[in-house]
Amino acid sequence: MIETEREPRRPHVRSTWTVGLDLGQAQDYTGIVAVEERTPIGWDSYPTEEPTYNVRHIERLALGTPYPKQVEHVAKLLNTPQLVTAQLVVDHTGVGRAVVDLLRAANLPKGLTAVSIHGGDQVTHDGDVYRVSKRDLVAAVAVLLATGRLKISAGLPDAAILQAELLGFRVRIDSVTAHDSYAAWREGAHDDLVLALALAVWHAREVGQDLQVLVL
């Protein structure tokens, strides 16, 4: 039998989904942002371009929504055909710790990653619980904004709110102390959607790309 050369794989786009969830408190909204990472793949099965990050779903839950109702809503959302393969990334800081247990017990089609935000400069993890610096979350969004690889459809509900939050979201490097200071980060104006976005794109770019972190 004569062996023939295999036909190379046709170019295509690899699509992966991530959902960021910023859990609100009494006076803060809960923000949900779903992001599709689209990476062009060539004939040799390697990426041919940098991926783009397309925001496909933006949602704020009403203030005062009980946490069990929030968990039920998130589980229902993640069980839709479009998001059944999506990785859920949840703010595990403060009040998020208790709700994560409820989410773990819910009917989620895929596991979740819990993120505890800190002010240091390292990323560590213990299983699916990560400690991530504000710097890393900010950088994940800032890089995509600077390179034009973050796409938000103006037709999405709450798109204008997310865009307004992004306008108020900035990083300033103090030229004297070389310390980062973060304007409009968890202070003053609502930033639930931009944090949900940051959680999603950070995970997609770093954990989804075999980020080297310190294992506790």
Task: CATH number of the domain at 26, please.
Answer: 3.30.420.240
Instruction: Give the structural domain span for 90.
Output: 12-208
- Please tell me the total count of domains within the chain: 1
Pairwise CA distance, residues 184 & 169, whole Å = 6
In-domain check, residue 193: yes
State the virtual CA torsion across 110, 116, 120, 124 in degrees, nearest 10: -40
* Top-confidence residue, 117 or 185: 117
pLDDT at 37 over 50: yes
pTM score of the predicted model: 0.84
CB 90 within 8 A of CB 128: no
* Top-confidence residue, 216 or 17: 17
In-domain check, residue 104: yes
In-domain check, residue 41: yes
In-domain check, residue 214: no
* Top-confidence residue, 67 or 96: 67
* Top-confidence residue, 14 or 75: 75
Pairwise CA distance, residues 140 & 19, whole Å = 15
Residues 6+ apart with CB under 8 A from 160: 154
- Identify the burial level of 88 via C-beta atoms within 10 angstroms of its C-beta, where 0-12 means exposed, 13-18 middle and 19 or more buried: buried
In-domain check, residue 98: yes
pLDDT at 73 over 50: yes
